[in-house]
Amino acid sequence: MKLNNHPTGRHFLQIPGPSPVPDRILRAISLPTIDHRGPEFGELGLKVLAGLRHVFQTRHPVVIYPASGTGAWEAALANTMSPGDAVLMYETGHFATLWQKMALRLGLAPEFLSLAGTDSSGLPQSWRRGVQADLVEQRLRNDSGHRIKAVCVVHNETSTGVTSDIAAVRRAIDAARHPALLMVDTISGLASADYRHDEWGVDVTVSGSQKGLMLPPGISFNALSPKALAASQSATLPKAFWAWDEIVEMNKSGYWPYTPNTNLLYGLSEALDMLLEEGLPHVFARHQRWAEGVRVAVRAWGLEIQCTDPAVYSPVLTGVVLPEGIDADRVRRTIHERFDLSLGTGLGKLKGRMFRIGHLGDCNDLTLMAALSGCEMGLKLSGVALAASGVQAAMDFFSSHPERPALQAAA
């Protein structure tokens, strides 16, 4: 007789995306596919485009692609740049590095700013802090000929647990009196961390479906400014599928110039309803609260938080640095095998030194307590010396910091 080794109960997916998809969204995705040229679809298209403008906090067009976030990276560059254009990019982690490599492959001339050197833990300093806006301003002031055509930064760096101050980057560009476009990747930040496309003066915002929007992978976005749309009129990098002009024009009536991913748009419509029913300020506040509860646990364990600047702690994920000599990937495997809990691996320069706990989207206090319990047991099984119980510390935090104290008191 063949033994069934499949674990009972639910799998705990605590990576920082793709995040768990709520049942409400799964049911919406399962609806019958409709004619993407019919009137019912046009209504759906107009609804999701209007809802996305609320989430990006913009009055301007948001382009939707049936692609991953990598596609939206390419779209942002291909629509605004010409071969050989210089772009200033900032190294905050693995995903900023991948965007820089893409710029090279597209025939652009990216310049990569970063903080030099490593810290006392042997980790790269630039990966433990956010974008240093003063370095951006200084570089742009030195570009008197305005050769640099765009500044590209990552808002929430998924590989490091750092959320950079985008408004400060815009102030730096303005202080340097430089005409460069500001492009921002908020693939893991959107709908989890406060993000304001218009107010912060962003020209192109890149995002994706599988993080705070709580959808499966497969949809990505470019939120645009009038300045970006004007730049696209003279940009000469090759583009066809990614071209904004036809998409923006057809979107005015709720349609696309290609076959859209209809069923994921059903899910997007439901996700937008959920977020806007709750209200974005509360969405952002609960993510901040979850993040602090997880950080309380990490501090109690006596372990380092990967982000070293509390001002830019991510509300989306927390990176946990393990002592030198401890293989973080081995610890993560132990946790997965013993407790059916998935955690994010260390990427790029952080491989083997840390793991990442996601606390975003369809989550709650008990979900996080289960995840922290699995982490604590796995750390102990792996021989990591812990100063105290992070689980107890997190329980104390969540119980003494209720999510909606005013509502609970009224009840």
3-state helix, strand, coil in the chain (%, to 5): 45, 15, 40
Q: How does residue 395 score in pLDDT terms, banded at 50, 70 and 90?
A: very high
212-232: per-residue pLDDT in tens? 999 999 999 999 999 999 999
Give mean pLDDT, residues 49-65.
98
* Whole-number pLDDT of residue 408: 47
Q: Which of 6-20, 194-208, 277-291, 364-378 has the lowest mean pLDDT?
A: 6-20
Q: Where are the beta strands (DSSP E) in 96-228?
A: 109-113, 148-154, 156-157, 162-163, 181-185, 204-208, 220-224
381-393: per-residue pLDDT in tens? 999 999 999 999 9
* Whole-number pLDDT of residue 7: 80
* Whole-number pLDDT of residue 120: 87
* Whole-number pLDDT of residue 2: 53
How far apart CA 198 and CA 225 sit, in angstroms, is 8
* Whole-number pLDDT of residue 411: 42
Q: How does residue 4 score in pLDDT terms, banded at 50, 70 and 90?
A: low
Q: Which residues of 135-159 are buried (b: 16+ CB within 10 A; e: fewer)?
A: ebbebbeeeeeeebbbbbbbbbbbb
Number of Cβ within 10 Å of residue 65's Cβ equals 23
Q: How does residue 5 score in pLDDT terms, banded at 50, 70 and 90?
A: low
The yes-or-no verdict on residue 353 having pLDDT over 90 is: yes
Contact 111, 90 (CB under 8 A): no
Kind and range of the H or E run holding 319: strand 317-321
Contact 341, 335 (CB under 8 A): yes
Half-sphere exposure of 349 (CA within 13 A, CB side): 20
Torsion of CA 201, 204, 209, 213, to 10 degrees: 10
How far apart CA 358 and CA 163 sit, in angstroms, is 14
286-318: per-residue pLDDT in tens? 999 999 999 999 999 999 999 999 999 999 999
How far apart CA 374 and CA 11 sit, in angstroms, is 12
DSSP-H helix ranges across 304-364: 328-339
The yes-or-no verdict on residue 29 having pLDDT over 80 is: yes
The yes-or-no verdict on residue 349 having pLDDT over 80 is: yes
Give mean pLDDT, residues 43-67.
98
* Whole-number pLDDT of residue 410: 41
How far apart CA 208 and CA 211 sit, in angstroms, is 7
Two tokens, residue 152: 């590209």
Contact 202, 223 (CB under 8 A): yes
Contact 137, 121 (CB under 8 A): no
Helix (H, G, I), strand (E, B) or coil at 41: helix
Q: Mean pLDDT for the chain? A: 96
How far apart CA 76 and CA 203 sit, in angstroms, is 10
Give mean pLDDT, residues 18-46.
97
The one-character DSSP state at 156 is E
Give mean pLDDT, residues 37-49.
98
